Amino acid sequence: MLAAADSYFSGIEGVTWVTPHGGLYVWMSLPESLATGFESPLFKQAVQNGVMYVPGELCYAGPVEDRPFHQMRLSYGVQTPDGIKDGMKRLAEAVKAVME
């Protein structure tokens, strides 16, 4: 997933991700102006592109209004390496589409 992130997201301004030291997830942040929630244009575009993610806001405790709304939790635990690469490509295309 990290190699796919490098391939498909490194050229998108404002997108960063954390290299995990274990587990099944990669944490990705987008520009603060780009919401990732279930009702966001990005989530809808991602689903249309055949890929899903967990909106980062669901992974925080505390008041909803204090949570960041521009992050995603990406899982690589159930896909093949080719499936991960394809999913990351589709997600990057969704991000680019809503940034236009």
Give the model's confidence band at 100: pLDDT under 50 very low, under 70 low, under 90 confident, else very high: confident
- CATH of segment(s) 2-99: 3.90.1150.10
pLDDT in tens, 42-93: 999 999 999 999 999 999 999 999 999 999 999 988 899 999 999 999 999 9
How far apart (Å, rounded) are the C-alpha atoms in residues 43 and 95? Answer: 9
Residue-level pLDDT at 77: 87
Q: What are phi and psi of 70, to 5 degrees?
A: -125, 25
Burial class (CB in 10 A: 0-12, 13-18, 19+), 21: exposed
pLDDT in tens, 22-46: 999 999 999 999 999 999 999 999 9
How far apart (Å, rounded) are the C-alpha atoms in residues 69 and 50? Answer: 22
pTM comes to 0.95
Give the model's confidence band at 3: pLDDT under 50 very low, under 70 low, under 90 confident, else very high: very high
How far apart (Å, rounded) are the C-alpha atoms in residues 64 and 35? Answer: 14
